[in-house]
Amino acid sequence: GDISLSQQLTIPPAQLPKKVETLISEGTYGSKENQLLTRYSEIERLSKSVKRVLENGGRVLMPVFALGRGQEAIYMLLRLMEKNKIPSVPIYTNGMVASLSNLYMSNYERISDKDRKWFMKNFQQNVTVAPKAIERLLFSKEPALLVLSAGMLVEDTLSYIFAKQMLSNSKDGIFFMGYQSPESDGYRVLEASKRGDEQVALGEETVEIGTKNIDIFNFSGHADYQELLELPRRLQPEKLIYVHGDEGALENLAEELQYEFEIQIPSNLQTVEL
């Protein structure tokens, strides 16, 4: 499953056992291109991008997964506003993110009471649930932050609906908060933007791309590259099995650690003897 050894904004690092015989590890960020990414460098990079768009009169769409990434994104934006790193503008989210935020903060005992109270107070004061103002918001030109699910622009979700409308506006920005599957519309938008395409196919429609403010930031709950190397070195397993990652990422990790561990990268449905 997913693991992270870093302190996130609302989630503490994983607590590891002292020793395991077999380690089955994810390898999502195992490619070399992810070696230099850190959460705090990404916060700084995102804050500069958000500030630029908002000060230019645009809106920022941040597609998120409703549980985990949604709470991290809103918490981060509220903190950045508090520190005057970004302009204070309205924050909108959708019902699923809002409902899960309440459950998350009410039941997650590993968040300090101080942080929990701060988040809930500021969430209630500064965040509006989007469905209450969906028609006005969709065509609004006022600077705002839109933290909406789904994280990969799943068709007919609020993030998808807003992305289709905002892509053509040169002032607006779309900033993804984590991994985009190659089969997703989020991935198609990112790749079209990187190529400098003027259009992108979303569902059965072709949408004009008028904004250059499209980017992806690594706020994933997955371990980063260095953590993926650190994990087996800390646990010293007799056997290391990599799953849950692109083939290139898993092979890169295996190559890096090949002289330290017995490593397998099984294919889907393959039986592995321990």
Which tens digits make up the pLDDT trace of 9-18? 667 788 899 8
Looking at per-residue pLDDT, the higher value among 134 and 230 belongs to: 230
What pLDDT does 110 receive? 61
Helix and strand element counts for the chain (H, E): 9, 11
Tokens of 97: 């993110």
> Structurally, what CATH architecture does the domain formed by 39-216 represent?
3-Layer(aba) Sandwich (3.40)
pLDDT of 35 > 80? The answer is no
Residue 1 confidence (pLDDT):
62
Percentage of residues of the chain with pLDDT beyond 70: 90
User: In sequence order, which residues have a C-beta less than 8 Å from that of residue 125 and are 6 or more positions away?
Assistant: none
Phi and psi (nearest 5°) for 208? -70, 140
Give residue 124's region: left, alpha or beta (phi > 0; psi -120 to 50): alpha
Question: CATH 3.60.15.10 occupies which residues in the chain?
Answer: 1-37+220-274
What CATH number was assigned to the domain covering residues 1-37+220-274?
3.60.15.10
Which segment of 11-25, 94-108, 152-166, 244-258 scores lowest on mean pLDDT?
94-108
Which three-class secondary structure state does DSSP give residue 148?
A: strand
Task: Give the residue range(s) of CATH 3.40.50.10890 domains in the chain.
Answer: 39-216
